[in-house]
Amino acid sequence: MEATTKVSPNSGDGLARTVDQASTGAHEAINKVSGATRPVVDRIASGAHQAVDKIASGAGQVAESLGMKGEQLKDMHARAMDQGRGYVRDNPLIALGIAIVAGFLLSKLWNSR
């Protein structure tokens, strides 16, 4: 960037010339510093992008794994329900006895508190 205020050479004002030189020097220093820091900022930004990509990839893998485990649990639940129904159909009196005993034990457990 360049200084926006220029003093005409005919003004003869030493203070104005000094301000103009200081302004030019400041702009040069800013350009030099910004040029030196640009590679560092680019490296940091690149590292941040890579970190985000790794996190997104890991999250995607976790989501996929959870989806597969969810499907497996649904299948296991369906099989357990089918087995339970089959047992009750094959042994209705035993299933009724188990239900009565389980109800009795649960009522004792809850009433003891």
Q: What is the pLDDT of residues 31-65, one digit of tens each?
A: 787 777 888 888 888 888 888 888 888 988 999 99
Confidence (pLDDT) at 2:
46
The full set of domain ranges for the chain reads: 14-111
pLDDT in tens, 87-98: 999 999 999 999
User: How many angstroms separate the CA atoms of 47 and 39, rounded?
Assistant: 12
Confidence (pLDDT) at 100:
95
- The pair of three-digit structure tokens given for residue 55, joined into one six-digit string: 């996190």
Residue type, 89: R
User: How many angstroms separate the CA atoms of 75 and 83, rounded?
Assistant: 12
pTM: 0.45
Band of residue 12 on the pLDDT scale cut at 50, 70, 90: low
User: How many angstroms separate the CA atoms of 19 and 25, rounded?
Assistant: 10
Q: Does residue 13 have a pLDDT over 50? A: yes
Residues 1 and 25: beta-carbon distance below 8 Å: no
Band of residue 6 on the pLDDT scale cut at 50, 70, 90: low
Total residues belonging to the chain: 113
